[in-house]
Structure 1
Amino acid sequence: MHIVVLPASPKTAQSTIRALLADPREPTVTGVYRDPRRASAEFREHPRFNAVQGDMADAQRLDGVCAGADAVATITPPLHAETDPIVKARELAGNVKHAVSAREGKSSSVKRLVYVSSVGAQFQRGTGEIRTNHEAEQSLRNAAPKVVFMRCAYFMENWATALATTLKADPPFFYSVICPADYKIPMVSVRDIGRICAAQLLAAGSVAVPGDENPFIFDLHGPESYSTRDVQEAFEDAMGKQVGVELVQDDQLVGFFAQAFKEPMASLFVEMTRSFLPGGVTEKGMNEGTRIRRGKDTLSETVRRMLGN
């Protein structure tokens, strides 16, 4: 079996490639990079991995890299520098669909397309940056005989941003936009995302179950939901010291994200954050989920791994 991962640079893509190369079924894997030299030595040295040049913005080039693939995994890359990231996400996903779909004058070997999406992607508006996932999902429908949308919960590794900054302070602390401190939301590790994505890709060509939908959609959560307080305790346990937390309240969100992003991305992150807080548009569906599947990694395990413990 041959599997293409595009783009191959995001952490979720790297985790997927790692899981595929470790699988006993021994698939061959092609990772698509703007610059193949960015592929890690871990992958480049593997006999079943090939890094190729390609760009999701170049539809013609993607046609070639997807040729001969049994399954394709795709991810919307970070679009923080785009003036209209929503439109760009739709365009990139459309290019992927063009590359993997059979059409007049072109056959396709691709049996399954797996898109790493986000909880809340079912909503057309009110979810900020998650709207890029919504647009991608709309573009990718019917792209292959089997299309899978993995709607992933909040990444546990998002907390890694504090490792190089505020957790090095004396005393250590971190910022959290998840308020109140005891409010729990689903979280999942990037490692589990890679594992589940790889399993979905390796199922390409399996016999369809009567009545099975296309696209097949499920939410991916960790073993349980977590709060800011749980994150604080995980850091304290892993570091062996007290760790403070600075809650970013609703009226502080605009200024907080303006320090990290330019417009329009800053405003999209504000809207996204509000969408999953109490009363937000995604709160109920996010916690109830759609065909919830659960990863294995706990928050404590993931924090320790991030800290190198």
Structure 2
Amino acid sequence: MKIVIGAAAGNVGSRIAKKVAAANHSAILLGNKLLSLENLNIPNSSSYEVDMSNVEQVVTYTKGADALFWLVPPALGVSSLKEWYDDIIAAGVAAIKENKIPRVVVISSLGAGASENLGTVTYVGNMEKAFKKVAPNVVFLRPGYFMENFLLQKGDILKNGYFSFPYDQNHDIPFISADDIGDVAAEYLMDAHWAGQWTRNIMGPRNITPQEAADIFSEELQKEITYKQVSYDDIKNQFAQFGANDTVQNELVDLYKALGDPNGAYATPRTIEANTPTTLEQIIRNKFISA
């Protein structure tokens, strides 16, 4: 099978690429930096530097695909996340429609499209609606909060003994590893027998509060790690330092508010098929201690 993987250099995309290549499928890797794709050293693959918001490029490099993996990669230096999502959605829609791609796997989010003003949770809901119009066979994977987000605070955790989010310390969060997301996505991409339009929640092995996460880090690292709840103004300032304009800052605050709402996206009931195996303890051992 010829499987095209968007944003293939990311945590999820690279995991999929390795799984697809290991199963002797042809992996077509798309990303915004050719060197990052080539550095993955994926056998039986071809790498192409592609702007995923460019319709012409995406249509060109998805021709002949038996399956397509699509997600919207993170971006801070854009005029608005809404426009960024809309452009990448449009490129994906065009590719599926013009190339008649038989099967598509999309990364969405828990709570996708539940209401307006939820930041990217709203935008991935728009993506689900758009893809349903053109993809007869599509799976929307709706993950919880990436465990790998802790890696963005690795320095503070290891050196300063704390991590921070804008969530209440007792807020219940379905943490999931990007590895598990990639594994589930790869299974669908390599299976030519399923059909229809599906959504599937994937939520890790169990929900964990920020305080419980701090306790787990303390146990695994054998040092006290504390949780600090920060304000939304703190969040805006942090993203401003990374080059995000006011619009993007506000969209990200909307996202954090949606994820921190005790009756919001993360209040989604857990079912058996939503469970995935990788624990936070394993992530700490493999990506904090052994890395």
Q: TM-score, normalised by structure 1?
A: 0.85
What's 2:250 paired with?
267
Contact 1:114 1:149 in 2 (8 A): yes
Q: Please, which runs of 5 or more residues in structure 2 have no aligned partner?
A: none
Contact 1:4 1:31 in 2 (8 A): yes
CA deviation map 1:66-120 (0-9, x unaligned):
1111000011111322222113212211111111224xxxx53x21011111112
Residues of 2 paired with 1:6 and 1:140: CA distance?
15
Residues of 2 paired with 1:89 and 1:301: CA distance?
32
How big is the alpha-carbon RMSD for the aligned residues of Structure 1 and Structure 2? Answer: 2.0
Structure 1 stretch displaced more, 215-224 or 132-141: 132-141
What's 1:2 paired with?
2
| Aligned amino acid, residue 118 of structure 1 | S
Q: Indicate the SS of the match to 2:264.
A: coil
What's 1:67 paired with?
63
What's 1:189 paired with?
177
Residues of 2 paired with 1:4 and 1:173: CA distance?
39
Contact 1:55 1:61 in 2 (8 A): yes
What's 1:32 paired with?
30
Say whether residues 1:159 and 2:147 are aligned partners: no
Contact 2:217 2:284 in 1 (8 A): yes
CA deviation map 1:200-242 (0-9, x unaligned):
11123x154xxxxx42111111011111122112211221111
- Structure with the largest fraction of helix: 2
What's 1:199 paired with?
187
Counting aligned pairs with the same residue, the percent is 20
Which of the numbers 111, 115, 125 marks the counterpart of 2:116? 125
**Structure of greater Rg:** 1
Say whether residues 1:299 and 2:280 are aligned partners: yes
| Aligned amino acid, residue 198 of structure 1 | A
| Aligned amino acid, residue 167 of structure 1 | L
Which of the numbers 210, 229, 237 marks the counterpart of 2:211? 229
Query: What is the CA-CA distance between 1:274 and the residue it aligns to?
Result: 1.8
Which of the numbers 63, 76, 91 marks the counterpart of 1:95? 91
Poorly superposed stretches of 4+, deviation over 4 Å = 289-292
Residues of 2 paired with 1:306 and 1:257: CA distance?
27
Contact 2:15 2:182 in 1 (8 A): yes
Which of the numbers 234, 258, 266 marks the counterpart of 1:255? 234
Q: TM-score, normalised by structure 2?
A: 0.90
Change (3 A) 1:42 1:58: closer
| Aligned amino acid, residue 270 of structure 1 | V
Query: What is the CA-CA distance between 1:289 and the residue it aligns to?
Result: 5.2
Query: What is the CA-CA distance between 1:283 and the residue it aligns to?
Result: 4.2
Contact 2:136 2:197 in 1 (8 A): no
Structure-to-structure mapping, 1:105-184, within 5 angstroms: 108=100, 110-169=101-160, 172-179=161-168, 181-184=169-172
Residues of 1 paired with 2:197 and 2:106: CA distance?
10
Residues of 2 paired with 1:152 and 1:201: CA distance?
17
CA deviation map 1:130-151 (0-9, x unaligned):
2231222222223333011101
Residues of 2 paired with 1:34 and 1:70: CA distance?
22
| Aligned amino acid, residue 304 of structure 1 | R
Residues of 2 paired with 1:305 and 1:268: CA distance?
32
User: How many aligned positions are there?
Assistant: 286
| Aligned amino acid, residue 96 of structure 1 | G
